[in-house]
Amino acid sequence: MKKGYDVILAGGTDEEALAYAAAISTTLVSLTSETIDIQYKRYVGSMNGVGVYYDSGLDYYLFAELTGGF
């Protein structure tokens, strides 16, 4: 489990999610105070220290800090 950012990306592609992660790192989006646990997860990659994970059960992308593991 990791601390996640307080945004999600519904639908889209892996490439769009990675671009979104790059934008997160340059904006004022903050980490949530709670950890997140993704049941049906797939690691997509990272951009600028932001990890991107796809939840196939809910069909959206989540963004989390890279330290630790799910």
Q: What angle do CA 47, 50, 55 make, to 5 degrees?
A: 105
Please give the Cα distance from 53 to 70 (Å, whole number). Answer: 10
Give the DSSP H or E segment for 35.
strand 31-36
The dihedral formed by the CA atoms of 53, 70, 25 and 9, expressed in degrees to the nearest 10: 30
Range(s) of the domain holding residue 15: 2-65
pLDDT of 60 reads: 92
* pLDDT digits (tens), the chain, 70 positions: 567 788 889 989 999 999 999 888 666 666 665 666 667 789 999 998 889 999 988 899 988 887 655 5
Looking at the structure of the chain, the number of domains it has is: 1
Give the largest CA-CA distance in the chain. 29
The answer to whether residue 70 sits within a structural domain is no
The answer to whether residue 35 sits within a structural domain is yes
Please give the Cα distance from 35 to 40 (Å, whole number). Answer: 16
The answer to whether residue 16 sits within a structural domain is yes
Query: What is this structure's pTM?
Result: 0.78
